[in-house]
Amino acid sequence: MLRNALDEIYSYSDLHTSEEDSLLYELERRTYLAALSPQMVSGKLQGKFLSFLSNIIKPNFVLDIGSFTGYSSLCFASGLTDVGEIHTIDVNEDYEHIRQAFFGRHPKGNQIIQHIGDAEKLIPSFNNVWDIAFIDANKKAYLNYYHLLKNKIRPGGLLIADNVLWSGKVLEKTKDAETAIIDQYNKTIVAEGLFDVTLFPLRDGISVAVKK
């Protein structure tokens, strides 16, 4: 019952949101045709929210953790400065050709740098201080991603995490391993007080934390 109501609210919100960029529209369709688990793509409503945040921040350095078919990177590209860089990480090479093809069609596509590997190993290899970091990869690593990134975001910069409601499973008393880590992420980022956090119940829950 609640699930149906939430799905209807989501569809209504999507319908009453302006169209996304045509390249992103095409990429979402391509993802549904070509990828396993295509529902992982951010999609129009969340994608427009990410673009909106990027346009406000006008980042020089973005870290996108969990590239998939490149949708979130292209959302962040909309606000990227002319000299900015987006570093996007995925452990899986399968969709590199899709990312490459779509990045190549964006005016700032040559400013998006792809990295293949485990994010927990790659994150410490960057010396950048990030304007935006987006966590959307291994759910069991969310707390580690937080600890690896908490001192690598500039004051006023954003640490964004997707799926922080995990289909509502964070509310269950007995939590599986992934849900328990996501719940710890949500609790720790508020308790440590390094960020001003807002958990938006958008889609599967998106946490936007501004570095103090």
Ligand X SMILES: C[S@@+](CC[C@H](N)C(=O)[O-])C[C@H]1O[C@@H](n2cnc3c(N)ncnc32)[C@H](O)[C@@H]1O
Alpha-helical (H) ranges within the chain are 2-15, 22-34, 43-57, 71-77, 96-103, 119-122, 142-149, 177-191
Q: Which is nearer to ligand X, 169 or 194 (CB)?
A: 169
DSSP state of 186: H
Rounded to 10 degrees, the C-alpha dihedral 122/127/133/139 comes to 30
> In this chain, which of 61, 71, 76, 145 binds ligand X, going by CB under 6 A?
71
Closer residue to ligand X, CB minimum distance, 86 or 89: 89
Shortest separation between residue 127's beta carbon and ligand X, angstroms: 19
Closest CB to ligand X among residues 162, 183:
162
**Member of 51, 72, 78, 179 binding ligand X (CB under 6 A):** 72
- State yes or no: residue 91 binds ligand X (CB under 6 A): yes
The smaller minimum CB distance to ligand X, of residues 8 and 176, is found at 176
Least distance (Å) between residue 159 CB and ligand X: 15
> Contact between 93 and ligand X (CB under 6 A)?
no
Phi, psi of 103 (to 5 degrees): -60, -40
Strands 195-200 and 153-162: unpaired
Asked if residue 92 binds ligand X (CB under 6 A), the reply is: yes
- Find the binding residues for ligand X in span 103-162 (CB under 6 A): 118-119, 136-138
Q: Which CA distances in Å does 28 have to 40, 74, 86, 107, 175?
A: 10, 11, 20, 19, 31
Q: 137 or 189, CB closer to ligand X?
A: 137
Site residues, ligand X (CB under 6 A): 40-42, 66, 68, 71-72, 89-92, 118-119, 136-138
